[in-house]
Structure 1
Amino acid sequence: MSKPSSRSPFGWSNRGGTVTVIEAPVARSYRRRAVIAFWVTLGVIGLLAATVASHYLHPVLGALLGGVIGALLGAVVFALIAAWPVLRVFWHWLPEIGLGLAGVYGWIAVMQSTPLWASLLIVALFVGLPAAIGPSRRRVMALIWCLVVRHRLRLCFAAFIATNRHGSLPLILPARPTPAGERVWVWLRPGLSLRDLEQDGQVQKLAVACWANEVRVMRASRRYAALIRVDITRREPLAGKVVSPLPDYVPTDVPVNAPTSPGMPPVGLDLPDVPDGPVIAPADTPRPRRPRNNPTTTASPNGFDPSDYA
C-alpha cells in the first residue's frame, strides 16, 4: 500500500486514497522502456520491411508498407513491456487462476451432463476421498504449501531484500514438494546475487516469513548464476521411525548346535602367553656404522664396491 497519488495509472480510489497494484516508480520505468522499445522496433523492422517490399512494389509504397509493419510490431512490443508488471501479477497467481477456472468449468460441465444429486455426489467424492485417504491428503497439502511458499517468498523480496534501481523483483519460478518441505527455483534480476541473500541474516528472515524451521539458499545451475534454489525445511524426515522388513528374514528355529561359518572368529579365546602387566620394551642399542672407506674390502672383479653403499 503506497501513499495517495493521482499519478499512478494502476490504482483505484478508496476513501480518498489510492491503493496501487503496481508501484508508480516501477510503472514509470517500464513505460520508459516500452517507449524506447517501440522506436527501436519501428526503425529496425520498418527499414527491413521497406527494403523487402521495395523489390516487389513501388519504392514509395514499399516505404509506407514497411512503416506500417514496423509501427504495428512496435505497438505490440510497447504493449507487452508496458503491461509486464500486470502480467507478472498474473504469473504469480497463475496456478490459483488455473485451478479456479478448472473448478468453475468442471462444475458447469458436470451440471450440464448429470442431474443435481449426481453432481453433488461427484463433487463430494472428488473432495472427500482425497481428504479421507492419508497419502493423498498429505500429497494435496504438500502441493498447497508449494503455492503458499511462492507468495511468501515474493513478499519477502518485496519487503526486506534489496532490489535493483528499477525496483524489479526476482522471478519466482515453479516449486515442488520434498520430503523435508518445499523447493523453489528463483531467477534473480540484475543487481541481485546469491551473496545478498546470505548476508545480514536474510536466510533466517526467509525462514520466519515462510513459517519454516530452516531455509537454505544455493545455486541451481553451474551455467547461470541468476538461477538459485531455495530449500525450505519444515520437518526432519530422518528423525522418524522407519519400519524395516529385515527382522522378518531372520530364522527363529535355529538349533543350538548349528554349525557356524569357518570364517567367523572363535569365541572365548584364552591367551596365557600374554602377560597381564604392561610390557616394557628394551632400549635400542645403536648399530655400529661401517666406515665408508674400508681398506680390507676387496673390490669385485667388475668394479662394484659394496662399501660405497654402506
Structure 2
Amino acid sequence: MTVSAQLPPPQYGPLPGPVKRPLPTTIVWRWRYEVLVFLAISLAASVLIPAYGLAETLLPTGVSVALVAAVGPLRRAVVRWVLCVATEHRVRAGLAQAWVHNRRGRLPAIVRTRRTPYGEAVLLWCPAGICARHVRAAAPVLRAACWAQHVHVTADVRRAHLVTVHVVRRNG
C-alpha cells in the first residue's frame, strides 16, 4: 500500500473571510521597486530637461534603451529583474486568490525574491495560522498566477514560519 505525498487542502471549518486591507506603508513596500524607478525617472527628467533641453535628454535615453534591447546579456538581465519584480506581485495575488491567509486575513509576507537558474525563488514569512502545507496546497493556483511550468514549495527545516516558493520557468 502506498501513501500519497499529496495532502488535501486543510479543512478547518467555513470558508475564510476576505484578505485584510494592507496598511499604506505595506502598499509602498510592496511597490517599492516601481516607486523607486518612477522617482528616479522623475528626478532625472526634472534635472536634465531644464539643463540640456528635451532633445538632448531623450537622445541618450533612447540610445540606452536601444543598447539594452540590442545586447543579449543586458536584455536578459533586465528581463530577469522585471520577472523577479512581477513574480512578487503574482505570488501575492495567487496566495490571495487561493485563500492562503490566516483567520485575521493576513497574507504571508514576501521577504525576498531571487533569481535562480530555473526561474525565481520567493521566500515567504508566514504569520501564525499558516504553514508550508497551506502554501503547498495552493501550488496549482500559484503556478497559473506566476505563468510557470512548475511551482515547488519547501519549508525551512529549522524555522517553520519560513517557506520558499520555487517558481520554475525553464529547465535549469
Identity of aligned residues (%): 32
Could you say which residue in structure 2 is the equivalent of 1:136?
Answer: 74
Could you say which residue in structure 1 is the equivalent of 2:8?
Answer: none
Q: Does 1:88 align with 2:23?
A: no
Superimposed CA distance per residue, residues 66-91 of structure 1 (whole angstroms, 9 cap, x where no aligned partner): xxxxxxxxxxxxxxxxxx62221111
TM-score, scaled to structure 2? 0.82
Q: Does 1:159 align with 2:97?
A: yes
Q: Does 1:117 align with 2:55?
A: yes
Could you say which residue in structure 1 is the equivalent of 2:124?
Answer: 186
Determine which structure has the larger strand proportion and give its number. 2
Could you say which residue in structure 2 is the equivalent of 1:44?
Answer: none
The offset of 1:188, in angstroms, is: 0.6
| TM alignment of 1:17-166, pairs within 5 A | 26=20, 85-166=23-104
Higher Rg: 1
Residues matched between the structures, number: 156
Q: Which runs of 4+ in 1 moved over 6 A?
A: none
Contact 1:183 1:230 in 2 (8 A): yes
Q: Does 1:235 align with 2:164?
A: no
> What SS class does the counterpart of residue 25 from structure 2 fall into?
helix
* Alpha-carbon distance in 2 for matches of 1:163, 1:120: 46
Superimposed CA distance per residue, residues 41-70 of structure 1 (whole angstroms, 9 cap, x where no aligned partner): xxxxxxxxxxxxxxxxxxxxxxxxxxxxxx
Superimposed CA distance per residue, residues 18-54 of structure 1 (whole angstroms, 9 cap, x where no aligned partner): xxxxx99846xxxxxxxxxxxxxxxxxxxxxxxxxxx
Unaligned 5+ residue runs, structure 2? 1-16
* Alpha-carbon distance in 1 for matches of 2:100, 2:123: 18
- The alignment's C-alpha RMSD in Å is 2.0
Evaluate the alpha carbon distance shift between residue 224 and residue 121 of structure 1 in structure 2; reply closer, same or farther with a 3 A threshold. same
TM-score, scaled to structure 1? 0.47
Evaluate the alpha carbon distance shift between residue 94 and residue 180 of structure 1 in structure 2; reply closer, same or farther with a 3 A threshold. same
Unaligned 5+ residue runs, structure 1? 1-22, 28-83, 238-310
Between the two structures, name the one with larger relative contact order (CA 8 Å, sep ≥ 6): 2
